Amino acid sequence: MEPDEFTSVLEAVRAFVRKEVVAAEDEIEETDKIPERLRRKAAEMGLFGYAIPEEYGGLGFSMSEEVRLAMELGWTTPSFRSMFGTNNGIAGQVLVNCGTERQKDAYLPALAGGEQIASFALTEPEAGSDPSGLTTRAARDGDDYVINGQKRFITNAIWADLLMVFARTGDVSEGARNISVFVVPTGADGVRIGPKDHKMGQRGAVTSEIFFDDVRVPAENLIGEVEGEGFSAAMRSLAKGRLHIAALTVGLADRLIDESLRHATTNGQGGQKLAEFQLVQAMLADSRTEAYAGRAMVLEAARSWDDGSDRRLAPSMCKLFCAEAVDRIADRAVQVHGGLGYMREVPVERFYRDARLFRLYEGTSEIQKLIIAKQMIKGFEA
């Protein structure tokens, strides 16, 4: 996309988010649902396909463009981005990276236009950040595969039309080597989606369990040409998603700092504005410094992604630092607000609950540390 064209898109998204989505935050919190008017507008703006290549109907953003968009989306409730995040991110990227041309032509245009929703069905009760232990199985039966198993915490499952289902096509003792991924329509016989989970925060972003009981799909629904490519497909999608999530938390950090400054400069104690107290100033300064560092990290990591020099280490470092930092910034925002920060009537209370999830999904902070250390050791030994 030409720079001027991208700038216009970014400005339009910024105006939409700050005027219309922010105004709906209380409604989203109360109903646990994104209003249909916002969904329609997001689809019209191309937000369901910003990371999908142009030849399949998307906007085809580079990573450097995507993270700047994510920072704008981070200004409001994370559930808004989550509505179309799986189409662009972990689910859609499985098709973009590993799908056959037939599969891309069949599925990506509808995802890019928002006509269909895709979910990334990887996590299981005993296989979370490390998917090598998953037990969902797909057995070849003639021209079909038969899938049995259970998935947990699957974002957008109740709205999804398509599931990217990761299943074992060999013995569990082989670890990650025999994991494959399949396109499974949610309307297929034997697919059962559980009720939405009741989460601490991020209301409006719905997750559910999914059960597969002798679900039969054609062999052509195996993503890629051969079995056993599921683990690498998952890792590629998750690495890109981690950088996107890091950018999203930078945007949320900016919003938290804005709310803190607004409160500190308009409210006081003992005849003084809160912003005049040095310990309040210290909290504001720490938050701004961490947000600045996170932004710089994300922009540099996106550049490295685009030129192909680092698509492994930098995304994990960004996810680790930014997810941990936004949690601290949210905590300070509540502290700056004092007792009011603990009340449901102020945005920082909601964002405090929302922020906690970033340290868990798409790879916990602990998993990011393992990835970073292993890459460091590998690079040193080489």
Distance of CA 292 to the CA centre of its chain: 21
Q: At what angle do helices 36-44 and 78-88 cross, to 10 degrees?
A: 50
Structure tokens, 271? 């005849």
Q: Residue 31: name the closest of 74, 87, 77, 73 by CA.
A: 77
Distance of CA 242 to the CA centre of its chain: 7
Structure tokens, 275? 């912003």
Give the CA radius of gyration of the chain: 21
Alpha carbon dihedral 152, 157, 158, 162, in 10-degree steps, equals -140
CB-CB contact of 49 with 111 (8 Å): yes
CB-CB contact of 139 with 146 (8 Å): yes
Phi and psi angles of residue 21, each rounded to the nearest 5 degrees, phi first: -75, -45
Place of tokens 């030129």: 307
Between CA 133 and CA 252 the distance in angstroms is: 33
Catalytic residue flag (residue 290): no
- Which amino acid is present at 155? T
Query: Among the options 72, 362, 366, 381, which is catalytic?
Result: 362
Enzyme catalytic residues: 362
